[in-house]
Structure 1
Amino acid sequence: MPDPRFFEDLGPVTLEELAALTGAELATREAADRPVRAVAILSQATAETVTFLTDRKHAAGLLGSRAAACFVQPNQADTVPAGCAVLLTPSPQGAYAIAAQRLHRPRLMETGPAVSPDARLEEGVRLAPGVVIGPGAQVGRGTTIGANTVIGPGVTIGRDCAISANVTIGFALIGDRVKILAGAAIGEAGFGATVGPAGLIDIPQLGRVILQDAVTIGANSCVDRGAFGDTVIGENTKIDNLVQIAHNVRVGRNCVMAAHTGISGSVTIGDGVQFGGKAGVADHVAIADGARIGAGGGVMRDMPAGETWAGYPARPIRQWMRETAWLAKRASSKKGTEE
């Protein structure tokens, strides 16, 4: 279930209503009155949730789940286990997104005082002019918050943090001694879209951001909240200005990322990993402990522990250097021949 500090529960809703809303077809009318309270991915499905399946390779996950219902394509209905209601649709993920919009709503800032009466501020918190703090938010002792920064509903910020001006923080749990520099955006919706009945629709992002103790986030950097689970930045990791961290990314402890680094969705990064400026990582890649990516490197596949890679696509740095030298030599030789 999405964290109630950040999302309102709009359920329950019957499967008959969900079918009508999404354009799906219930395989059996006996399940029409079955209620569901939430959406969930296969690994998190419970008896009160509706999930979806788009690829048969994940069918084992469906068999092991306890979902009340599942959106599937008609040719995959046989993958749904007994006891799980079948919702037939050509676009299972699109139907799931519509169901998520019906069942969950992000908590928004309310009109009223700039600092909500429901917010809890410990002793020694210092607020610059223009700070807005939403209902249910908590700020720890000794934390300073810069001018025009917005702290969303339910956000928790630890002690002795330094939040600069014009920062926006939502859907986030933040540890102690965290530094967030000017203009950073923490907890905005990650980039996710799918095909719906009338074209592309956004997939609701129902996760959180967790920044552990002593993390630094540079100016104008973005850390997106998770789509299903959480985006996590590990202890003492230092992130430069203008860095993008996408949804569901998990970064280990003591990592460093130079400016313009871009991490795609669902990447897993171990402890002590280093990224040069403008490095990038493709989605669902795993980077092991102590790896190093050179400036401008583009990591397209899993990376072993302790290795240094460079180039695009990134590969071991000695290999990249040999290939670059060979190419330069060939180009120079050809130029001499032409002259």
Structure 2
Amino acid sequence: MPDPRFFDSLPALTVAELAGRIGAEVVRGGDRKVSAVAPLGTAGSTDVAFLGDRRFGEQLKATAAGCVIVPASAVDSAPADAAVLTSGEAQAAWARASLQFHKPVVLEAASLAEAAEDDTVVVEPGVIIGKGARIGRGTRIGANSVIGAGVQIGRDCHIGPNVSVGFALIGDRVKLYAGARIGEAGFGAAGSRSGPIDVPQLGRVILQDGVTIGANSCVDRGAYDDTVVGENTKIDNLVMIAHNCVIGRNCLIAAHVGISGSCTVGDNVMFGGQAGIGDHIKIGDGARVAGGAGVLADIPPGETWSGYPAKPIRQSLREAVWLAKQASGKARAGKTNE
């Protein structure tokens, strides 16, 4: 269930009512009541899940979801006790279903007295604080920043000017520099007959103690699970951390790095500037990613990778030297022929 501090729950529906609203067909269980959406692996008896890729067929068979949305070809794989809907665009149907059950809490301004732990909290002119937000002792919030409804901010934090924080739980001694965007919707779209539709992002951002986020950097909230940045990790300016990423402790991430969705990064990992990481990549403890690298495969612990596509640095350098020699040899041959 999405965090009630950030999402309102809407009334339950029967599976048949839901099918009519999302354009799906009922196979069985139309009178069952459902009240939330969830992924296959974590769904419960009142949740709606979906199968969008055959790779997750085993999860479909094992799911505890009360209702599943599947392509017609996968009906026989659905659990016998689950209600079943069919759709030629299962993920898009699930996205529509989420809008029937979950709605982001509307931002209504609260007073500083309601949110602050004590009078050591300082807010500069133009700050907006949402209802249900809590701000710890000794924290300072810069001018024109927006702290969303339900956001929890720890003690001795520094929030710079023009920062927005939503759908987030923030630890102690966290620094968010000017223009940082924490908790915006992650980039998710599902194909449908009418074109791509946004997949609602129902997760949170968790920034643990001592994290630093540089100016104009973005950390998106999870699609359903949380985006997490571990203790004492330092992130430079203009960095993008996508939804569902889990970043370990004591990592260093230089400017212009982009980490795609659902990546897992271990502790003490270093990223050089402008490195790009593909989605669902795992990077082990103590690894290093050279500046400008394009990572398309998992990196084992302790290794240094570089290049595009990124490879262990010695291999990458050998290939670069070989390519340079080949190019130089062809250039000399061309001059000789002239």
TM superposition score category, shorter chain reference: over 0.9
Aligned to 1:27, the other structure's residue is in SS state strand
Name the CA distance, whole Å, in 1 between partners of 2:234 and 2:33. 45
Contact kept? 1:117, 1:135, Cα under 8 Å: no
Query: Could you tell me how far 1:158 is from its partner in structure 2?
Result: 0.2
Query: Any stretches of 5+ residues in structure 2 without a counterpart?
Result: none
Give aligned pairs, total.
Answer: 335
Taking only the aligned residue pairs, the percentage that are identical comes to 57
Name the CA distance, whole Å, in 1 between partners of 2:113 and 2:26. 46
- Deviation per residue, 1:222-261 (Å, 9 max, x gap): 0000001000000000000000000000000000000000
Aligned to 2:93, the other structure's residue is in SS state helix
- Deviation per residue, 1:263-289 (Å, 9 max, x gap): 000000000000000001100010000
**Equivalence for 2:92:** 94
* Residue 317 (structure 1) aligned to one of 289, 313, 317: 313
**Equivalence for 1:103:** 101
Query: Could you tell me how far 1:59 is from its partner in structure 2?
Result: 2.1
Q: Which moved more, 1:171-180 or 1:320-329?
A: 320-329
1:221 correspondence with 2:217: yes
Contact kept? 1:120, 1:136, Cα under 8 Å: no
Contact kept? 1:132, 1:150, Cα under 8 Å: yes
Contact kept? 1:56, 1:79, Cα under 8 Å: no
Structure 1 runs, 4 residues or longer, greater than 6 Å off = none
* Residue 332 (structure 2) aligned to one of 311, 331, 336: 336
Query: Could you tell me how far 1:118 is from its partner in structure 2?
Result: 4.7
**Equivalence for 1:81:** 79
* Residue 305 (structure 1) aligned to one of 301, 304, 312: 301
Name the CA distance, whole Å, in 1 between partners of 2:255 and 2:284. 21
1:294 correspondence with 2:290: yes
**Equivalence for 1:241:** 237
Query: Could you tell me how far 1:57 is from its partner in structure 2?
Result: 2.7
* Residue 67 (structure 1) aligned to one of 42, 65, 68: 65
Query: Any stretches of 5+ residues in structure 1 without a counterpart?
Result: none
Code of the aligned partner of 1:100: S
Q: Which moved more, 1:118-127 or 1:69-78?
A: 118-127
Question: Where in structure 2 are the equivalents of 1:245-284 lying within 5 Å?
Answer: 245-284=241-280
**Equivalence for 2:121:** 125
Contact kept? 1:12, 1:35, Cα under 8 Å: yes
**Equivalence for 1:57:** 55
- Deviation per residue, 1:166-207 (Å, 9 max, x gap): 000000000000000000000000000002342211000000
Query: Over aligned residues, Cα RMSD in angstroms?
Result: 1.2
